[in-house]
Structure 1
Amino acid sequence: MTSSADAQMLLVQLLDPANRADPYPLFAQIRERGPLLMPESNMTVFSSFADCEDVLRHPDSCSDSMKSTVVQRQLAAGAMPPRGNTPGFLFLDPPDHTRLRRLAQQAFAPRVVRELEPEIAATVDGLLDAMAEAGSGDLISDLAYPLPVAVICRLLGVPVADESRFSSAAALVAQALDPIMTITGEPAEQADARLAAGDWLREYLGGLVEQRRTHPREDLISALIAAEEDGDQLSAEEIVATCNLLLIAGHETTVNLIANAAQQMLRDTGYWAALAADPDRASAIVEETLRFDPPVQLSMRIAGADMRIGEVDVACGDTMLLLLAAAQRDPAMYEAPDEFRPDRDSVRHLSFGLGPHFCLGAPLARLEARVALSKLTARFPRARPAAEPVYKPNVTLRGLASLSVAF
């Protein structure tokens, strides 16, 4: 059994930027030790596919951090303030989660996603035109980043002139998802900047909500204002929280998905050439990337009751840290798990979650990635890396900051 001190040491290594480019050997080391029990921190770390799947499916798994024993202890001691802003539905549990998600889903219907495809294709074509003219490019700043920003801003109705500041604030807020406080007990660097970015985003989105109440448009905020079920509507705070969540979840993760897939195909040019010749292969590339190098590397749940996961008893209120990136290379689940194989017969993964918290934006993320990757490889069938890739500091939403290519 791994001691609590050893478990803490392994988790701190996950936070080390030196492991950002390739955290998978460390994930494997953790997975081989089985669940990490950390009673002093009221936390258990799961890293096998079976255990992570059980936690995500378990009816007593909760997403509301206010149910955590540690959080309640800190509140009682005055070590942290009560929750102020309304959280997005990702961080709520039924019945609040059910209500908010059902209303938001009306404005995120499959029809809306399908209707976006021509606009996504046109956006990708424009970005690739600029790269072709330059003769080289950075697949992050020139494609993977601006595409989902443009799409989510189009959905929300954010003016083009504000997109740059909007996306910069979103990138800072995304870093707040890293479990630095959970693992180390200390606040993260730039914590104040992230809080300030979050405050600015909420204020900005609140202004848009007020504008759309008097002047509705064909955008997501107007649809959320109009969304109603059984006489129930979203409050202004709930709309802001929902848009904030969709912005972070729908932006950073899609950037990582597109970039991680492109990088893997650049490492194995046979897959790049095959996709360039056959755009129908894009779905297989996307699904294997979601398994092999997922945009969301870890997730957390709170035990809403005493639970048993595998051979481990988890006490009510304890935190369960799920290392999804480790689970999706579990040899008990996959043949040759450390090999990128888009031709696998089927790919089950946990990258979009399971159960009531299954990712609302999964169809849009898949669509953006398929269009971007198929058009990228068709336009530049002989692309090659031009420099070493650079990674962002993010742990949870791990991804590339730069991926230079030449054509």
Structure 2
Amino acid sequence: MATGAATGNQTAAQALLVEMLDPAVRADPYPVFTRIRELGPMVLPETGMVVFSGFADCDEVLRHPSSCSDGMKSSVVQRQIAEGITPQRTATPGFLFLDPPDHTRLRTLAQQAFSPRAVRALEPEIRALVGELLDAVAARGTGEQTPGAPFDVVSDLAYPLPVAVICRLLGVPLSDEPQFSRAAALLAQGLDPIMTLTGQASANADERLRADEWMRDYLGHLVAKRRAEPREDMISALIAAEEDGDQLTVDEIIATCDLLLIAGHETTVNLIANAVLAMMRAPAQWAALAGDPDRANAVIEETLRYDPPVQLVMRIAGADMQIGGQERSDRGIVGGGQERSDRGIVTVPEGDSILLLIGAANRDPVAFDRPDVFDPDREGLRHLSFSKGPHFCLGAPLARLEARIALTELARRFPHARLAAEPVYKPNVTLRGLASLRLG
């Protein structure tokens, strides 16, 4: 089991992690993250897991060559399979949950549909979509600068925009969007580490399983149609994509599209809405963006640090890993409360799970001045929200493009908008985001 440099109480560590899952803290998880981060790395022998919450540690794990994304490499999962508790994996996972060489192969083929040229080609359509959505908002008011009373940033803009874009990319009929949205929302909840941290299945596990079956069946039929009649969409491109004579199988195409629908949909909704909320709570920033559209890029990067759409990331140690060193303070929780004097180094044995609290790391005071302040003008903007290393987010350029156009147009048209009600959050822990953000 992992060892590290510190003393502490494992029960207290476990309690804090369970508190992190509590819906009551969804609106503001950052005080809990602060308490976790102040304890340092947590080693939880009973669950075969290590939790990192500091920026340097999370950055190191994401870049580490032995850091794996395939959950089947977990010692706990392998033991459960051997005991008949967990079945062997039967469905092909998205490449986000694979490691080289499979990850490299699938990502290389899939990224042909996300080339810089392909993303730039989408800009006119994204602008037109944003214009149509905001025209509808303005029509409910008394003029171009006065929104209807009040309007919802999530349902009126942040949600329909990325859904329309990803459906357009994949070639999914917009008439099927409501079914996709419901399935994607359920599957996004499946990323929450509820079973890992509590040992209990989530309340809607069966519903999520049915949503996954529906999604894969739907995409399978769509792949068959595109194979017979190719179009100018991503599914057709994935069918045709080839690298060194290698092509994606039907199962791999379905898994890739499944992943892109969830990741490309939920995260971008969260990014746009979180950015608007941060500026609503700092009105000078909203006014500054309304007056200078060039600030949008800095607003987006600071939002990704300050209130990231992806709060947690899981990895598996593919080999023994040593994380940390002299630069880290001598703090941390170790199973059994044992003391160590190895200057902050945490050893994670092969097969242990690693939970990275990105939301905590992005507000680490060791890495950032005034970490709890939303400041797009801070020097050296950086974050871990698109991951690092081989799993750096494939859709990052598209998400940034959608957010930039949405935020600049919203601020330009409605420079005097203000919060009309307290925001409402979805239940998601990992892909944490707003269900409603009403402005007036």
* TM-score (normalised: structure 1): 0.99
AA paired with 2:397?
P
| Alignment root-mean-square deviation, CA | 0.6
- Structure 1 residue 248 displacement after superposition: 0.7
- Whole-angstrom CA distance in 2 between matches of 1:50 and 1:28: 15
2:82 — aligned with what?
76
2:407 — aligned with what?
373
Q: Which runs of 5+ in 1 are unaligned?
A: none
- Structure 1 residue 344 displacement after superposition: 1.1
Whether 1:303 aligns to 2:317 is yes
1:192 — aligned with what?
206
Q: Give yes or no for contact 1:261–1:286 (8 Å, CA) kept in 2.
A: yes
- Structure 1 residue 167 displacement after superposition: 1.4
- Whole-angstrom CA distance in 1 between matches of 2:247 and 2:162: 28
Q: Deviations over 1:298-342 (max 9, x none)?
A: 101000011111111101100000000100000110010010000
The within-5 A match list for 1:340-379 is: 340-379=374-413
- Whole-angstrom CA distance in 1 between matches of 2:173 and 2:371: 43
Q: Deviations over 1:191-215 (max 9, x none)?
A: 1111111111111111110000010
- Structure 1 residue 2 displacement after superposition: 2.7
- Whole-angstrom CA distance in 2 between matches of 1:38 and 1:2: 11
Whether 1:403 aligns to 2:437 is yes
AA paired with 2:60?
D
2:19 — aligned with what?
13
- Structure 1 residue 87 displacement after superposition: 0.2
Q: Which runs of 5+ in 2 are unaligned?
A: 1-6, 141-147, 325-344
Q: Give yes or no for contact 1:308–1:314 (8 Å, CA) kept in 2.
A: yes
AA paired with 1:229?
E
Residue of structure 2 aligned with 1:324, choices 358, 380, 387: 358
Q: Give yes or no for contact 1:35–1:44 (8 Å, CA) kept in 2.
A: yes
* TM-score (normalised: structure 2): 0.92
Computing the radius of gyration from Cα coordinates, the structure with the larger value is 2
Name which structure has the greater RCO, CA cutoff 8 Å, separation 6+: 2
- Structure 1 residue 4 displacement after superposition: 2.0
Q: Give yes or no for contact 1:61–1:303 (8 Å, CA) kept in 2.
A: yes
When structure 1 is superposed on structure 2, of 375-384 and 126-135 the one drifting more is 126-135
When structure 1 is superposed on structure 2, of 281-290 and 342-351 the one drifting more is 342-351
AA paired with 1:296?
V
**Count, aligned residues:** 406
Whether 1:94 aligns to 2:108 is no
1:204 — aligned with what?
218
AA paired with 1:215?
E
- Structure 1 residue 40 displacement after superposition: 1.1
1:294 — aligned with what?
308
- Structure 1 residue 133 displacement after superposition: 1.6
2:420 — aligned with what?
386
Residue of structure 1 aligned with 2:232, choices 199, 202, 218: 218
Task: Look up the SS of the partner of 1:369 in the other structure.
Answer: helix
- Structure 1 residue 3 displacement after superposition: 2.2
Please identify runs of 4+ aligned residues in structure 1 that moved more than 3 A.
Answer: none
1:270 — aligned with what?
284
Q: Deviations over 1:39-83 (max 9, x none)?
A: 111100000001000100100000000000110010010001110
Q: Give yes or no for contact 1:2–1:37 (8 Å, CA) kept in 2.
A: no
- Structure 1 residue 8 displacement after superposition: 1.0
Q: Deviations over 1:214-260 (max 9, x none)?
A: 10000000000000011100000000000011111110000000000
- Whole-angstrom CA distance in 2 between matches of 1:3 and 1:244: 40
